[in-house]
Amino acid sequence: MSSSPAHPQRIVVIGNGMVGYKFCEKLVAKAQPGAYQITVFGEEPRPAYDRVHLSAYFSGTTAEELTMAPVSWYEEHNINLHLGELVTGINAASKIITTHKGLEVSYDKLILATGSSAFVPPINGVEKEGVFVYRTIEDLDAMLAYAPKARTAAVIGGGLLGLEAAKAAMDMGLTTHVIEFASRLMPRQLDEAGSETLKKKLESLGISIHLNKSTTAILGDPGVRKMTFADGSELNVDMLIVSAGIKPRDELAVKAGLSVGPRGGILVNDALQTSDPDIFAIGESALHGGMIYGLVAPGYDMAETVVTNLVGGEKTFKGFDMSTKLKLIGVDVASFGDPFISEPNARTIVFEDRIKGIYKRVNISEDGKYLLGGILVGEAANYNMLLQTVQNRIIVPPDAEDLILGSRGGSSESAGAGVLSLPEEATICSCEGVSKGTICNSIKDEKLCDVASIKKCTKAGTSCGGCVPMLGDLLNATLKEMGQEVKQVLCEHFQYSRHEILDIVKVNNIRTFDELISHHGKGDGCEVCKPAVASILASTWNELILKQATIQDTNDRYLANIQKGGTYSVVPRIAGGEITPEKLIVIGQVAAKYGLYTKITGGQRIDMFGARVDQLPDIWEELVNAGFESGHAYGKSLRTVKSCVGSTWCRYGLHDSVGFAIQIEERYRGLRSPHKLKGGVSGCVRECAEAQSKDFGIIATEKGWNLYICGNGGAKPQHAQLFATDLDTETCLRYLDRFLMFYIKTAEPLNRTATWLNKMEGGIDYLRQVIIEDSLGICADLEREMEFMVDTYACEWKEVVNNPELRKRFQHFVNTPEPDPSINFRPERGQKVPVI
């Protein structure tokens, strides 16, 4: 590090976005006190804020929470910050910048971190009222002010920024359309198949996607009312968000005579110097190697490069891997390495689950040794290890498909072992350039014991957050390597496991998420802890799930599964599949009255599809009045207990499987758990109820019932294991009570019973000791807790139907009770299906 000069070097930074701020943060961290006099100019009226998570502003995150550092931070580090002040000129010869207020400031080194502006295509009418760009908090405030006048919004642009804008439109309660000029969404990151999977996932959430569309005009007076396209089609909209890309802010550089690219961008060398060696450009304004980088991570690396060289070190910028993992409107999307390389230069392996909306592609070298790149849509949990496998030239397994199939249901222990085997120089946090060695050494040297401490110490995981799961794996693996006990915590907001949180909730009589996090956690929570805590609260107190609506997903919020086109399904409980003719008639009448698509499911229930959210309370009022109750098809709870007809009708039946299935389903209805639960009861070994593919299954024997547990169907089917034989009905129910409550108390969030048992030390033998032999002395407590759940059960939909305040929640728009006009259907096989 250079020694402090007699007179501090004058550094002027133009631009106070994320990259401009990061330059300042890195400089004050590396420089000796008094070595530099730093002056920063920002056009916006507020200090730098997190644009990566800008869409969170629409779901309640405040501008202060998005702020990267308050004004006081700049003051503490002797940085002269000018907000709301535009730099209008640079005199490179005299090294003076001028602002629109007439201020002149001299510099020794000038940093251009001017970023980019939204690219607005030259469309007739783009200047009309109701047309917005998606760039700053002020843009977002303007949208929020205008949204009450609108019902339908369109977004021009189907790339990353466009889909972020679409989420914003949805969060404002608007019917949302995405207009994309190309033939697929996110064309720079996804191939045709991956894009199609993403498109279907977004359409299932109610977003209309229009591809191959070139907008020719925006009509309306004074505000936007209609869009017209080159193919002659039209779209009625009340609001338009333009998010078609970015344009580097290079106007100052052009005016100062600095070299720029033919399509814009300030030309820089590997040291990020412009054509004037005392002027540097970083972030989205810089053109390096013919590339404008639109992600924050390369901008941070550019800032690191300039700072390192300023303080006497040596570093060059050689380009940046544009691999990225995103969550777009709740859908995981990732691409890494070379996502598009294919035969004959590589072997491509593809996994596709069209039902669940999952697409995975990996590209393997011709010799089968190395991973070259890939694409993940719908499930991207193994992105970090795949990226590390590419970057560090790690030899792939003999069965290369294990790269995308082997991680499904894999344990965190195996993930931790994998990340610990990476080389020390492997970059774990691309945004901050933090290596595996730095993280592991910090854990050891600083005695770090949680992810939050790693973030504070190394800065890893403090930007986009994509590497946070890997930080957790590294922490656990390193602590185990050091011989320390590893505590499995729920997430960075709670330093407790799920089981410990459940105990805290019970002991302290905690009824809300806010109460829990304020007394026993920190921050505002996340997508990991909020649904987990919601499940814990429901499993403990058995209260109406709508009391936790703010931390539930859409399905639990509206007590129904959202379907394609934005409509919902209605699924009454039909215990054991048994239904009277009168109730069957009611279902037919309701379905006919509301024009619903009907289907008998594999779980012996009748689904009714196509209900608007505003129709749900009226539909359920008729069903409740006819004696139906919620089937909990939307919840992490008991779904069905399937049965065959048993001894009542079947000549092979040994016992009344229908009656027992009904008894079990009515006992455990509404029971909230870490994941969904399914059961089955078969009247003989012919197994017509398929009980051995369920979380719990019961098969009749000549002496009673055989009980099977911890099976499931789905992407990774697993047979249930025989737990106990020849049980009488009372004993079978007692074991089930204990088993289900033990699962609820000890399983990790979103673990099915099969996964829970697979991870359990001692396996099925240990579980027998706990449930049958009462080795832990807790069986009486488990039975008592289950009795509480049974005694306090209430049908959720009956509560809603009889509560006028709750009924008011069920409307599509926040500002009007009118239904969504964009929901359309077409006839198919005598019924209706959604048009998407």
Task: State the binding site for [4Fe-4S] cluster.
Answer: 644, 650, 684, 688
Residues 606, 324: Cα–Cα separation, whole Å: 42
**Radius of gyration from C-alpha coordinates of the chain:** 30
What are residue 40's phi and psi, to 5 degrees? -125, 135
Residues 235, 243: Cα–Cα separation, whole Å: 18
Give the residue numbers of the binding site for siroheme.
Answer: 688
Looking at residue 281, its amino acid is A
Residues 655, 644: Cα–Cα separation, whole Å: 11
Looking at residue 112, its amino acid is L
Phi-psi region of 378 (alpha: psi -120 to 50; beta: other; left: phi over 0): left
Pairing between strand 371-377 and 331-337?
Answer: antiparallel
644, 650 Cβ separation under 8 angstroms:
yes
DSSP 3-state of 94: coil
DSSP 3-state of 29: helix
Going along 163-244, which residue ranges are E strands?
A: 175-179, 208-210, 215-219, 226-229, 234-236, 239-242
**Cα 748 → chain centroid:** 18
724, 734 Cβ separation under 8 angstroms:
no
Whether a cis peptide bond, with omega within 30° of 0, leads into 121 is: no
What are residue 695's phi and psi, to 5 degrees? -60, -35
Closest CA to 710 of 729, 727, 697, 724: 697
Closest CA to 336 of 371, 304, 310: 371
Neighbour count for residue 652 (Cβ, 10 Å): 13
What are residue 797's phi and psi, to 5 degrees? -70, -30
DSSP 3-state of 112: strand
Q: Which residues contact 266 (CB under 8 A, 6 or more apart)?
A: 112, 248, 250, 253, 258, 259, 260, 274, 281, 285, 286, 287
Q: Which residues contact 614 (CB under 8 A, 6 or more apart)?
A: 810, 811, 812, 817, 819
End-to-end CA distance of the chain: 60
Tokens of 779: 């069986």
Residues 462, 452: Cα–Cα separation, whole Å: 9
Residues 381, 470: Cα–Cα separation, whole Å: 10
Tokens of 577: 């599949």
Looking at residue 754, its amino acid is A
Looking at residue 398, its amino acid is P
Closest CA to 823 of 606, 555, 562, 598: 562
DSSP 3-state of 354: coil
Give the helix/strand (H/E) hosting 19: helix 18-30
Neighbour count for residue 316 (Cβ, 10 Å): 11
DSSP 3-state of 707: strand
Give the residue numbers of the binding site.
Answer: 644, 650, 684, 688
Query: Could you say which DSSP state residue 40 is in?
Result: E
